[in-house]
């Protein structure tokens, strides 16, 4: 198992985060995370590094509407044209790619364009606040569907908290679903991503 760490990037850049090996020099390329609003012309991705695009709303309109969804997909096609790096999608419940059908559709569409994408499996970000009452049912289905998917880049293991009407990842051990997430993730995948906060405590839980 290789542990990677999601680290927030400094403000004022086109990059919002990076994913790096937990132990420097342990192997594995770095990944750069951007959002659809990021200026592509200002984004520099060195050869060999992965570029991850978060599926988040571009404006105030719900991202699943046809207009915002088409805008997001057009952005991803521009990414394909500009970068030769490995490309990875980070689906979230608030974004245009937000659930099992939309992710499958996205991956199939990219394949038809002869550009393979992987995806970061972040089960917590695929939940809505209404799903938390039946978190075990929803998370079980997500793990059954995506944990062994051949296009999975890595699995982000985290707990969840409701912030601004959305479920967002928080460090393992800081919420109520950590035992459930760890049980569903066993045996642990080859590539695990953890948040940078309270890293030592999270590593001890694995």
Q: By three-state DSSP, how is residue 169 classified?
A: strand
Reported as a single tens digit per residue, the pLDDT across 80-121 is 999 999 999 999 999 999 999 999 999 999 999 889 999 999
169: nearest Cα among 92, 63, 57, 100: 92
Residues with Cβ within 8 Å of 144's Cβ and at least 6 positions away in sequence, in order, are none
Length, in residues, of the chain = 206
Distance between CA atoms of residues 88 and 189, nearest Å: 17
Counting residues of the chain whose pLDDT is more than 90, the rounded percentage is 69
Reported as a single tens digit per residue, the pLDDT across 11-33 is 766 788 999 999 876 666 789 99
CB burial of 55-92 (b: ≥16 within 10 Å; e: otherwise) equals bbbbeeeebbeeebbebbbebbeebeeebebbbbbbbb
Cβ atoms of 195 and 158 within 8 Å: the answer is yes
Structure tokens at 39: 């200026």
152-156 and 31-34 beta bridge pairing: unpaired
């Amino acid at each position: 198992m290789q542990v990677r760490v999601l680290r927030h990037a400094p403000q004022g850049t086109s990059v919002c985060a990076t994913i790096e090996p937990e132990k420097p020099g342990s192997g594995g390329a770095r990944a750069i995370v951007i959002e659809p609003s990021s200026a592509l012309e200002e984004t520099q991705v060195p050869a060999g590094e992965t570029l991850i695009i978060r599926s988040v709303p571009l404006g105030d309109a719900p991202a699943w509407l046809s207009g915002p969804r088409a805008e997001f997909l057009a952005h991803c096609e521009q990414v394909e044209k500009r970068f030769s790096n490995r490309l990875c999608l980070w689906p979230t419940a608030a974004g245009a790619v937000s659930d099992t059908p939309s992710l499958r559709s996205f991956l199939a569409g990219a394949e038809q364009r002869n550009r393979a994408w992987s995806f970061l499996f972040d089960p917590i970000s695929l939940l809505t606040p209404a799903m938390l009452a039946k978190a075990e049912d929803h998370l079980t289905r997500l793990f059954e569907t995506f944990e062994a998917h051949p296009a999975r880049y890595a699995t982000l293991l985290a707990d969840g908290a409701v912030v601004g009407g959305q479920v967002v990842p928080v460090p393992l051990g800081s919420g109520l679903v950590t035992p459930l997430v760890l049980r569903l993730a066993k045996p642990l995948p080859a590539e695990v991503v953890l948040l940078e906060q309270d890293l030592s405590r999270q590593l001890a839980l694995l």
